[in-house]
Structure 1
Amino acid sequence: MKQLAQNIKRNSLTLEELPVPVCKAGGVLVKTVYSAVSVGTEIMKLKNADLSYFQMAKKKPEQVKDVLNTLTQLGPVATYRKVMNKLDSMSPLGYSLTGEVIEVGKGVDNLKVGDMVACGGAGYANHAEVNFIPKNLCTKVPDGVDLKDASFATIASVAMQGFRQTESQIGENVAVIGLGLLGQILVQIINANGCRAFGFDISQSKCDLAISNGAYFAQAATKNNFEEEIGSLTNGFGCDSIIITTGTQSNDPIILAGKIARHKAKIVDIGITKMDLPWDLYYHKELDFRFSCSYGPGRYDPIYEEKGIDYPVGHVRWTEQRNMMSILQLLKDGKIDFSKLITHQFSFNDSEKAFLDIKAGKEDYLGVVLKYDTDIDTTTKRVNIPNDKAIRSDKATIGVIGAGNYASTMLMPFLKEEANLIGIATATGINAKDKAQKFGFRYATTDYHEMLADKDINTVVIATRHNQHARMVVDALDKSKHVYVEKPLAISIPELKAIYKSYTAQQQLLMVGYNRRYSDSIKYLKKQLKQNIRYSIYYQVNAGFIPMDKWYQSPEQGGRVIGEVCHFIDTLQYLLDADPVEVFASATAVEGMPEQDNTFINIKFSNGSTCVIAYLADGDKKYAKEKMLITGYRTNIEFDNFKTVTVYKDGGVSKKQFLMIDKGQKEEMSVLAKSIKSGVAPISFQSLLVNSYTAILAVESIQTKRNYSTSLDTLINE
């Protein structure tokens, strides 16, 4: 299948041949018939790629802050790789389309193969021949509605949600500032709701179009003082509501809105507009300024969009899906009509040129649709990548599952130097092919079973979301593949048991991504410790706040103790040459954060050492992420975030400094390659099991307030 893709760093737009996405539970696979181009939003993305890095940074200061915080935590080299990976990647365009359902995932009972649906969602309803769409982001197209018109349902839902924010009643006067596509749709929606539409735009032709679409008044905004005209048409009151759709750095729309508004009017912004609210104007009229969030309630909520959990209609009448339904119903009833708004239609195969022409402004583009061929490949899950490099018999042959930011910046850049990269699988074809080309894989796929069946691959690297790890580890072991899996190994005791069973049966090499033990600073720290000495260690982790709506915080991912604290348990196992034998954990409740995000975990080790991991997510971003205080053998040692190791001994002080923050990923990939060749795992399977078991029991301890033995006999035999 083909998909339109943008690369910001290379400032390119290409039509890519990609593997067809897999139909997952909770959604449907849709073959596109038409996709609508959001001329304002999508062309702005193309134009942003023309900017210098400095100009991009100036436009997004919050992202600059995030980069600076990452610099503090990871150092300059890793931060640079992370930023460049994001810029030098293919990204999708589009978010509104119509198509035919060709496959239905588990948990979807309101759609069937052959249904025609309108779909929405950035990253889902892409300009692509086939897309996976979660069930709450698509809805049936009623009989009699033109599929071309229906392809604008999501874009029109942005206008609908903006109108709903005005809380308008029949007979009210509603103004629209900005008569582009959204503005023209708004004019029709306003009329359909029994209100009078007033329009303003810098283009007289768009004002004329608004009149033909039913606007009561529309005039070119050659000035920002229309009080007299609006007053004469509204019994001297002014407009009850004003909706701003413009994308401009001028403050004129804000001033115009304030002047034509009646006392206590509502002003709703659905554009990207400079906002410098004139105090006198807005204060004396007590104006109510509001934002409208995209297509409606549910937008940006992963529980609604990804998991398909709807809001009860009695509590949230108009979700983004129900807004789409209302647009389609208005089209069916003839209350709105997009035929005058669709100014251009292009073949999807000509979309590269079409987008560049739109960007250049060669014509007056308003409503633009891409039409797709009926003959589309809907089955191919693998795309081969040209590669002249010979496969070396002395190196491991690797297949990678998952290519998020961590894997792309901290694993694959080093892995490609150590092994033959054969296949890569990700949930989206665009990411799979992007990383396949970037790192030299021989094929990209959306189905990881392709690689499990590939005899040329002897090792699978798993870097997906946490709740997928154990299942994929078992699948790979059962296919006699060596496995490297990012932490955690598993998120539940039944998963650990399943892994134990498969590992015992196959005896393949299994390695977990505990990279810290390969860091130069951690290896140096280990040299300062004596064998068979009981140490007391305080390990403080400034974990950083993660919002509740991020996937990492989803309960189904196991939580941050299981997902990350296993890292620090392994570091202690490495330093002490010992395994946990007992664990107790307690948490500090912090409002707005999961219980385990601020946790003290007390662990006793098999050599008699006692350690406390203070995993705290409520600290300042600029504070060092990891520190250790180690006491024992009449010695004190301070470890400061991979930068310095200070040893206090015999009345003297010695300090070892390291040039950069190195958390060991490069060396870890080298160890992986060597381990595959030798067949000897760097960490024993028993230590890997007890590590995960300890983290899982730590979460249990938070809830029960009990100590737990971490003996594997209990895990294996119960």
Structure 2
Amino acid sequence: MKQLIQNLKNGQTSLEDVPAPQVKPGTVLIQTRRSLVSLGTERMLVEFGKANLLDKARQQPDKVKMVFDKIRTDGLRPTLEAVFSKLDQPLPLGYCNVGTVLAVGAGITDLHVGDRVASNGPHAEVVCVPRNLVASIPAEVSDDEAAFTVIGAIGLQGIRLLNPTLGETIVVVGLGLIGLLTAQMLRANGCQVIGIDLDESKLALARAAGISTCNPSAGDDPVQVVESLTRGVGADGVIITASAKSNDIISQAARMSRKRGKIVLVGVVGLDISRAEFYEKELSFQVSCSYGPGRYDDTYEQKGQDYPLPFVRWTENRNFQTVLQLIASRQLDVQPLITERVPLSEYHTIYDQIGTSRAIASLLVYPEQLASPGAVQHTTATFDGRRGIAGIIGAGNFTKMTLLPALKGFEIKYIASANGLSGTTLAKKFSIANSTTDPQEILRDPEVDLVLITTRHHQHGTFVLDALQHRKHVFVEKPLTIFEEELDEIEQFFIQNNPSLSLTVGFNRRFSPHAVQMKTLLGSAPMNIVATMNAGFIPANSWVHDLAVGGGRILGEACHFLDLITYLTGSKLTAVCMNAMGTQPDQTTDNASILVRCENGSTATIHYFSNGSKAYSKERVEVYSQNRTLVLDNFRLLTGYGFKGFSKLKTQQDKGHRNQFRQLFESVQQGGASPIPLAEILNVSRATFAALKSLQRNEWVEIN
């Protein structure tokens, strides 16, 4: 299928061949008929992409500070690689989609194949959208008109926050598409509306809809115009839908408001607010968030949990429905706002002129039939069926920034991604033959004998078992699984089948040249280890904290150091005790200390903290043994004290990824032992579950 994407590195907009997404539980698969180009939002993305690096930095000063912090801890080269990789990531364009339902996921009963729906899907021939971001289209509303649903909801949410009453005077500053829609909806609400803009053509559209207008470029003074039209009272409310860097707009909004008036910002303007202007009138100011309550809440959007209507009357989905009802009843007339209808294949006629376009609304028209919804082939590479041909399931940041750069020179036949776009982009960049959205295509192919799994944590165990049952060697990025019952199933698979298959988990730290040097120097004597992970703060709403998706940071990340302890001591872990700061026993944590006992008498302490400074090293390991000490700083500098013939090893940051994958492919191609013994993988995995049990029980937990 075809999809429009934006390259933030060079500003190029392109129409790409990508595999169609697969329907998932709680989602709707839609074949697109129309999509609306949001000229304001998409213009900003295109112009940002075309800007040089210096201008990009000026637009995002907060990101520049993060870059300098990363340089101090990780070094210049890894930081630059991360920055350029981020800029090279394609961005799907569009969020105003209309189409026909192709399939509905498990748990959806109120939508059916063939229904016409509006959603916030991107500019693509097929989109997969969570149920709460999809609304049924009334029969009276055409596809063209329904394309205004989502962008109309943005303006409607601004009105909801303003909460105007019948007869009030509301000023709309900025009569672009959102402004014109907002002004019409205010009129439908019984308000007197004054529209302000510099473009006479937009003002003419507003006047045709019964809206009073003001044109500052023609010499009108917005404050005086509002004073005149309100007989000296001032505006009851101001909705700012303009986009400008100047602070003049917010100042004018304050001066034209009546005492105790309300100002709601929907657009983007300078916000250097004068205290005196707001103080004297006791003005209220609020920023509107997109489509309404539920936006950016994964529980609502991704998991489909609706807010109860008696307590949250207007969610983003109910705002979608309201816009469609207004169009159906002809209280909102969007037909005059349509400037052009352009076939998807001629998208460039819109985007080539997007920086100077005076269009109000541009619609993309899609073909009735899909060319091909399946996998996309990117190379003519042939595979002879020898051992070591790989398929990758997952195309996120780890795959892009770590896995694929480390796999240069190895044969990769497939990459699978949920939405098709990220996998296709990586397939082109790294010369991978096929991009797909169906992981089963990889598992069914007899030529593929190694499957690398890099999805979100909750899918690891399922994919591992599925791949093993298809007689594939498996690499899975840590953790092996976040569900203990799946760990039992994996162990039972090896016990019952005794397969000549390898299972490797992404415990890469043991493959670092620093870790290898440490093990050589230390020998097999008992030791004490203090390991600190200055992991950094991750917001509470991130998927990694979700016990059902990420499993928490102890399962998902602290497992790295449990494995490193196993490697350095050469011993099984026998018991753990975890203490955490400020957490309840049934909650996950990312500020904890784990005490570890080893079978050979060694002991270790792992400090996993998220409340430290970014300027401090992210990872630090200290080992004490036989009157000797080793200190490893951020996998860049290893310092020895008391060792004859060794004092220091300094390298670029090397956490062992390349060495791990080299050994992995060699073991698959040539046979022999797995890079990490299965018994150690299972032991470390059980140790992470035991750590969580220890926190719940407030006691030491033995590792079976």
Task: Check whether TM > 0.5.
Answer: yes
Q: Deviations over 1:138-169 (max 9, x none)?
A: 01111211221111100011100111111211
What TM-score do you get using the length of structure 1 for normalisation? 0.94
Which among 522, 542, 552 is matched to residue 550 of structure 1? 542
Shift of 1:310: 1.2
> 3-state DSSP class of the match of 1:242?
strand
Which deviates further from its counterpart, 391-400 or 581-590? Answer: 391-400
Shift of 1:635: 2.1
Cα distance in 2 between the residues matched to 1:233 and 1:91: 45
Q: 1:395 to 1:75 in 2, by over 3 A?
A: farther
Q: Which ranges of structure 1 fall in alignment gaps of 5 or more residues? A: 712-718
What is aligned with 1:45? 45
Cα distance in 2 between the residues matched to 1:387 and 1:12: 26
Shift of 1:649: 2.4
Q: Is the CA contact (8 Å cut-off) linking 2:214 and 2:220 kept in structure 1? A: no
What are the residue-to-residue correspondences of 1:569-718 with 2, within 5 Å? 569-589=562-582, 595-649=588-642, 655-679=647-671, 680-711=673-704
Cα distance in 2 between the residues matched to 1:242 and 1:513: 54
Q: Is the CA contact (8 Å cut-off) linking 2:12 and 2:50 kept in structure 1? A: no
Q: Is the CA contact (8 Å cut-off) linking 1:245 and 1:272 kept in structure 2? A: yes
1:165 aligns with 2:161: yes
Cα distance in 2 between the residues matched to 1:301 and 1:97: 21
1:193 aligns with 2:193: no
1:117 aligns with 2:109: no
Cα distance in 1 between the residues matched to 2:702 and 2:538: 30
Q: Is the CA contact (8 Å cut-off) linking 1:85 and 1:405 kept in structure 2? A: no
1:516 aligns with 2:512: no
Q: Is the CA contact (8 Å cut-off) linking 1:4 and 1:352 kept in structure 2? A: no
Give the number of equivalent residue pairs: 699
Which among 385, 391, 404 is matched to residue 399 of structure 1? 391
Which among 118, 121, 128 is matched to residue 124 of structure 2? 128
1:322 aligns with 2:322: no
> 3-state DSSP class of the match of 2:347?
helix
Cα distance in 2 between the residues matched to 1:412 and 1:257: 52
Cα distance in 2 between the residues matched to 1:639 and 1:220: 64
1:245 aligns with 2:202: no
What is aligned with 1:288? 284
What is aligned with 1:257? 253
What is aligned with 1:486? 477
> 3-state DSSP class of the match of 1:597?
coil
Cα distance in 2 between the residues matched to 1:368 and 1:660: 50
> 3-state DSSP class of the match of 1:33?
strand
> 3-state DSSP class of the match of 1:280?
helix
Cα distance in 1 between the residues matched to 2:583 and 2:464: 35
> 3-state DSSP class of the match of 1:622?
coil
Q: Is the CA contact (8 Å cut-off) linking 1:470 and 1:489 kept in structure 2? A: yes
Q: Is the CA contact (8 Å cut-off) linking 2:637 and 2:651 kept in structure 1? A: no
Cα distance in 2 between the residues matched to 1:498 and 1:221: 71
Q: Deviations over 1:243-263 (max 9, x none)?
A: 111111222212221221111
What is aligned with 1:372? 366
Q: Is the CA contact (8 Å cut-off) linking 1:629 and 1:637 kept in structure 2? A: yes
Cα distance in 1 between the residues matched to 2:390 and 2:535: 31
Q: Which ranges of structure 2 fall in alignment gaps of 5 or more residues? A: none
> 3-state DSSP class of the match of 2:25?
coil
Q: Deviations over 1:105-151 (max 9, x none)?
A: 0011221111111101xxxx110010001001001111211221111
Q: Is the CA contact (8 Å cut-off) linking 2:385 and 2:447 kept in structure 1? A: no
- Residue type matched to 1:709 in 2? E
Which among 520, 528, 532 is matched to residue 527 of structure 1? 520
1:309 aligns with 2:302: no
Shift of 1:594: 5.7
> 3-state DSSP class of the match of 2:293?
coil
- Residue type matched to 2:543 in 1? W
Which deviates further from its counterpart, 185-194 or 702-711? Answer: 702-711
What is aligned with 2:411? 420
Q: Deviations over 1:71-99 (max 9, x none)?
A: 34433222222222221232210001111
What is aligned with 2:531? 539
Cα distance in 1 between the residues matched to 2:373 and 2:277: 60
> 3-state DSSP class of the match of 1:273?
coil
Q: Is the CA contact (8 Å cut-off) linking 2:216 and 2:222 kept in structure 1? A: no
> 3-state DSSP class of the match of 1:133?
strand
1:461 aligns with 2:452: yes
Cα distance in 1 between the residues matched to 2:148 and 2:222: 32
Cα distance in 1 between the residues matched to 2:417 and 2:125: 18
- Residue type matched to 1:554 in 2? D
Cα distance in 2 between the residues matched to 1:381 and 1:449: 13
Shift of 1:522: 1.6
What is aligned with 1:7? 7
> 3-state DSSP class of the match of 1:340?
helix
- Residue type matched to 1:513 in 2? G
> 3-state DSSP class of the match of 2:160?
helix
Cα distance in 2 between the residues matched to 1:189 and 1:435: 44
Cα distance in 1 between the residues matched to 2:6 and 2:328: 35
Shift of 1:336: 0.8
Q: Deviations over 1:219-273 (max 9, x none)?
A: 3455584333322321311001111111112222122212211112111111111
Shift of 1:574: 0.8
> 3-state DSSP class of the match of 1:23?
coil
> 3-state DSSP class of the match of 1:142?
coil
1:503 aligns with 2:497: no
What is aligned with 1:203? 199
Q: Deviations over 1:613-652 (max 9, x none)?
A: 11111111111111122222122332222232233328x9
Cα distance in 2 between the residues matched to 1:611 and 1:374: 63
Which deviates further from its counterpart, 240-249 or 442-451? Answer: 240-249
> 3-state DSSP class of the match of 1:565?
helix
- Residue type matched to 2:360 in 1? L
Cα distance in 2 between the residues matched to 1:376 and 1:636: 65
Which deviates further from its counterpart, 477-486 or 161-170? Answer: 161-170
> 3-state DSSP class of the match of 1:359?
coil
> 3-state DSSP class of the match of 1:85?
helix
Cα distance in 1 between the residues matched to 2:223 and 2:435: 60
Q: Is the CA contact (8 Å cut-off) linking 1:580 and 1:690 kept in structure 2? A: yes
Q: Is the CA contact (8 Å cut-off) linking 1:395 and 1:420 kept in structure 2? A: no
Which deviates further from its counterpart, 65-74 or 478-487? Answer: 65-74
Q: Is the CA contact (8 Å cut-off) linking 2:10 and 2:50 kept in structure 1? A: no
> 3-state DSSP class of the match of 1:344?
strand
What is aligned with 1:716? none
What are the residue-to-residue correspondences of 1:434-453 with 2, within 5 Å? 434-453=425-444
What is aligned with 2:329? 333
Cα distance in 2 between the residues matched to 1:685 and 1:47: 51
- Give the root-mean-square deviation of aligned CA atoms: 1.9
Shift of 1:657: 4.0
Shift of 1:279: 3.0
> 3-state DSSP class of the match of 1:642?
coil
Shift of 1:217: 3.8
Cα distance in 1 between the residues matched to 2:474 and 2:645: 43
1:184 aligns with 2:180: yes
What is aligned with 2:150? 154
1:27 aligns with 2:27: yes
Cα distance in 1 between the residues matched to 2:419 and 2:639: 46
- Residue type matched to 1:457 in 2? V
- Residue type matched to 2:469 in 1? D
